[in-house]
Structure 1
Amino acid sequence: MSRLPRRVVVVAVVAIIVLSLSWLRYVTNSVSLYDEVGITLNSWMPAPIRQWGCDQLQANFPGALPPHGCSTGDGTSWL
């Protein structure tokens, strides 16, 4: 029984690392601004991290409409 909690922690840590790297790839090296997985991961991030990600996306895609999580209430302005 003592191995089960350790395995759960290891799986959780690996999942967090994989999701974090997927998010980082989306905001820094994305080919498409509207990648559904990247948008979802970005919207789950805490506000300061999401803001940094949105700034990266805006720098990589100037003039594009912001994805969900990076737009103000009107949907056309970046955070």
Structure 2
Amino acid sequence: MKKLLQVVCVILIGVVIMIGGRYYRYVASSDTPYDEVGIMLNGYMPGPVRSWGCGKLKERFGKQVPPYGCAGADPRSWA
């Protein structure tokens, strides 16, 4: 039982690292704010992480239309 729990924990940590790394790569170094996988991951992130990610994207792509999930009341303005 202990070995099974250890394997499950390692798998969960690995998945979190993979998803978190992919999200960070989208926010910090993507060529476009319209990456479909990045937008999807942004939608699944908790509020504070999503706000941070949208802020980073706004710093990098502030003159473009925001991606889904980062738009304010007007879909053409950043939140």
TM, length-normalised to structure 1: 0.89
- What corresponds to 1:20 in structure 2? 20
- The amino acid that maps onto 1:53 is G
- 1:6 matched residue in structure 2: 6
Offset, 1:62? 2.3
Whole-angstrom distance in 2 between the partners of 1:9 and 1:73: 40
Instruction: Map 1:1-79 to 2 at 5 A.
Output: 1-79=1-79
Among all aligned residue pairs of Structure 1 and Structure 2, give the percentage whose two residues are the same amino acid.
Answer: 42
When structure 1 is superposed on structure 2, of 45-54 and 11-20 the one drifting more is 45-54
Q: Which moved more, 1:15-24 or 1:3-12?
A: 3-12
TM-score, reference length from structure 2: 0.89
Question: CA offset at residue 74 of structure 1?
Answer: 3.0
Residue correspondences, number: 79
SS in 2 for 1:67: coil
Moved over 3 A (4+): none
Distance 1:68 1:17 in 2: 24
TM-align CA RMSD = 1.3
Unaligned runs of 5+ in 2: none
In 1, Cα distance between equivalents of 2:6 and 2:73? 43
